[in-house]
Amino acid sequence: MNIKKSIPNILTLLNLLSGTIAVIFAVQGELVLAAYLVFLGIFFDFFDGFAARLLNVQGELGKQLDSLADVVTSGVVPGIVMFQLLKTKNTLEIFNTAIISWESQKIEFLPYVGLLITLAAAYRLAKFNIDVRQTSSFIGLPTPAASLVVLSLPLILEFSSFDFAVSVIENKWVLVAVTLILSFLMNAEIPLFSLKFKKYTWKDNKIKFIFVAVTVLLVAVFQFIAIPIVILLYIFLSLFYKENKL
């Protein structure tokens, strides 16, 4: 076995392993642990591509394996997490119509809306593999970015001292809206810049350096609340960059 060629695939498999363990924790309701494992998986996901480019061992196997791993880490896990969030929040009166009783068991239909994230992520990843336009940039929100938004929610609920942010997340309508918006953005025809660096000059990477610098500042100030803000910034800067050629 060629060790050099295997390094990126090993990193991808570590992404898949992180995502698989995160699935177990998410099903058990351990959403904070699931979030940390997804973050770890996304870390491996970033560096598998970096390693492939650095070692010049990019290939079709790695591309397919990467998408399969992302389906789990950035598709299945956030779908389950959103399901759990919708299931555990206080049920508004209007949602009582979305509950049926069968053999003394209550079945809520609303939490299953969260699984739209999983379906949208799988569809996006399948499109990505055959879309020749997405070699140096993205069309639609990358699945790891959407996953970061969802996995930030239980962390905000657990650790944030911003009462307003917590109350917003505890609203089921907000969670449904986040689900629908992220599902749409992942498959929308919106051009977004990639954080892959081919060169490291300011001229070639203005938008990326600005984004990274502002991201560090936001995280330092707002902690986990910064994650959805950063994703919104990412979309905004991509549109601004496209129109004005920063």
Per-residue pLDDT of the chain (246 residues; tens, 9 = 90+): 567 678 888 999 999 999 999 999 999 999 999 999 999 999 999 888 777 777 777 777 878 898 899 999 999 999 999 999 998 754 443 344 455 555 545 667 899 999 999 999 999 999 988 877 766 678 899 999 999 999 999 999 999 888 888 899 989 999 999 999 999 999 998 888 887 666 666 666 777 888 888 999 999 888 899 999 999 999 988 887 654 444
57 SS3 class: coil
Beta strands at 105-108 and 137-139: parallel, antiparallel or unpaired: unpaired
Tell me which amino acid residue 53 is: R
Residue 162 has a pLDDT of 85
Q: How many CB atoms lie within 10 A of CB 199?
A: 8
Cβ contacts of residue 147 below 8 Å, gap of 6+? 38, 42, 73, 74, 75, 77, 78, 121
Residue 246 has a pLDDT of 42
Domain formed by 3-244, architecture:
Up-down Bundle (1.20)
Residue 93 has a pLDDT of 37
12 SS3 class: helix
Residue 38 has a pLDDT of 97
Cβ contacts of residue 59 below 8 Å, gap of 6+? 5, 52
The residue extents of the domains of the chain are 3-244
Residue 144 has a pLDDT of 94
Which of 7, 4, 37 lies closest to 19 in space, CA to CA? 37
The residue written with tokens 């959103």 in the block is 82
| φ/ψ of residue 139, rounded to 5 | -115, 110
Residue 174 has a pLDDT of 94
Going by the DSSP 8-state scheme, the letter that residue 89 receives in this structure is S
Residue 88 has a pLDDT of 73
Residue 8 has a pLDDT of 85
